[in-house]
Structure 1
């Protein structure tokens, strides 16, 4: 398979929703962990976490990693809020350009995502009833994604769009509609598709020609069902251990990988085992656990990568 495997800060509890005051894994400790477990790339994480400019390039080089992509969340369905957020996109693209100055073998993909709404975030997989996506809102979203994609391409990168539980593009029907009205490639996120009631194999079959980025995770379906049945939102999903190391959940990894191999997928395969650590975590033990999980995850992909 002509693809490159990367890790992600979110697998170490480092992302935008990391609790305030929680001790986090340092970027150097994370780089060392990913290098030791056989990864060749890393996702960006929160803007600035890996550094900028020379610091970013030096860190990537030190751990023999390339930048795979990075989360750029924008309020696509609100014209005024979207316009106000464009400086954030420009800032993110400067960091991607910083990394690209090192002439990597594979360019990173700016990973566009919708901001969703508070109602949808509180009801993952139930967005159609919690906060319906009206036709007018869908048209605004699609139009603004096109504008963001043009900005990304003008900066020399190819965008990808991440469907995500708790946003306005989460269910298979919403993904179908999004793809029908845009020209942006899709980040297939196995875990978020399951959260939204989708089937990963059907997703690969339906959208394989548009998938230009892959986020892989295993899912404990029983735990997800329990969290959602109790009325939990995305914070409870992330903190509740819904995403587990490969082989410990219910995702048939071969059913995702084999069709992608057959389709000639050529891109980044980003392993994301989303975890949300608490403020009282013992960071050294937490890092050892995360490193062990990422070794399991990397080994599980050896038949293909």
Structure 2
């Protein structure tokens, strides 16, 4: 495997924590999403890079049994941060609470503390989304509050993830959620930019609603093409939509510093979606993760004063 190295870093950013996610190695729930590396390869890379915590990745990537999940992660020196779960939240004939309860059971038993929710369209992938009616908006908002309450009762933080190709994607979607629901947000710097939201402005506007963070840096030209429907999300990721932290247009250093200044105490998850054409391209993914981690540790050591 190609050589890669990240210098020693700390696990804390002013009370927050650094973690990784399997999607940075191309592991994704979308059918046909490139070559899927094994858990052993991904987790060993995380360990070798000094990562100490991870999100669980898509269903089936890691064991469903909480005890087995804990043991597998522990073997690589990792702990469970939480899990990403796409759910249909806007339909009256679809009750998401069963799936959420199962997820909360798993997180509670395995030590994870964040349920990262995406408002799924019900379609495959993240390339298209319909518009919501007023009644569907009411259902979605009510479900968000129900899930937030269920999670809080179990000692888990629920965070809604604005995400390209989901029902909560654009700035107007996020503003409506902030007005109609009390759920916290997952600040995903990449998806926010793609949807037309400035992540730094969002942190400064409502820091109390940010309960989880996914750090991505973005090729702005490709993001613009996704926003205006000149490229699908999947095509843009294949072309290199996400770039190592500090080399794109997401203002990562400013965002992290603004969160720290607002006393944010949640996770900072390095989560750079990528599509791998083959097993060998896993080496490139690991190199890019290493570069992003080194940048992030530099931000920790030398925060921007604003």
Could you state the TM-score of these two structures normalised by the residue count of structure 2?
Answer: 0.86
Tell me how far 1:69 sits from its aligned partner: 1.7
Give the corresponding residue for 2:51.
39
How many angstroms apart in 2 are the aligned matches of 1:54 and 1:117?
Answer: 31
Tell me how far 1:296 sits from its aligned partner: 0.7
Tell me how far 1:119 sits from its aligned partner: 10
Which has a greater percent of helix? 1
Residue 213 of structure 1 aligns to a residue in which SS?
strand
Tell me how far 1:228 sits from its aligned partner: 4.9
Query: Which segment is superposed worse, 249-258 or 1-10?
Result: 249-258
In angstroms, what is the RMSD of aligned CA positions?
A: 2.2
Flag structure 1 segments of 5+ consecutive residues without an equivalent: 101-106
How many angstroms apart in 1 are the aligned matches of 2:296 and 2:239?
Answer: 25
Residue 170 of structure 1 aligns to a residue in which SS?
coil
Number of corresponding residues: 286
How many angstroms apart in 1 are the aligned matches of 2:177 and 2:30?
Answer: 26
Give the corresponding residue for 1:103.
none
Q: Is the 8 A contact 1:120 1:167 kept in 2?
A: no
How many angstroms apart in 2 are the aligned matches of 1:255 and 1:210?
Answer: 18
Give the corresponding residue for 2:149.
150
Q: Is the 8 A contact 2:245 2:291 kept in 1?
A: yes
1:6 is aligned to 2:19: yes
Tell me how far 1:121 sits from its aligned partner: 4.1
How many angstroms apart in 2 are the aligned matches of 1:241 and 1:75?
Answer: 28
User: CA deviation digits over 1:83-117, x for unaligned, max 9?
Assistant: 1x4332233223212312xxxxxx42011110135
Could you state the TM-score of these two structures normalised by the residue count of structure 1?
Answer: 0.86
1:57 is aligned to 2:70: yes
Alpha carbons of structure 1 residues 210 and 58: separation in structure 2 relative to 1, 3 Å: same
How many angstroms apart in 2 are the aligned matches of 1:13 and 1:204?
Answer: 28
Alpha carbons of structure 1 residues 165 and 207: separation in structure 2 relative to 1, 3 Å: farther
Q: Is the 8 A contact 1:77 1:140 kept in 2?
A: yes
Give the corresponding residue for 1:288.
283
How many angstroms apart in 2 are the aligned matches of 1:132 and 1:287?
Answer: 37
Tell me how far 1:287 sits from its aligned partner: 1.9
Give the corresponding residue for 1:232.
231
Tell me how far 1:238 sits from its aligned partner: 2.8
How many angstroms apart in 2 are the aligned matches of 1:61 and 1:292?
Answer: 23
Matches within 5 A, 1:158-237: 158-229=157-228, 231-237=230-236
How many angstroms apart in 2 are the aligned matches of 1:291 and 1:184?
Answer: 33
1:109 to 107, 110, 114: 114
Residue 103 of structure 2 aligns to a residue in which SS?
helix
Alpha carbons of structure 1 residues 240 and 227: separation in structure 2 relative to 1, 3 Å: farther
1:99 is aligned to 2:110: yes
Residue 301 of structure 1 aligns to a residue in which SS?
helix
User: CA deviation digits over 1:253-301, x for unaligned, max 9?
Assistant: 22201111110110110011101234xx1x1x22211111111111111
Alpha carbons of structure 1 residues 14 and 229: separation in structure 2 relative to 1, 3 Å: same
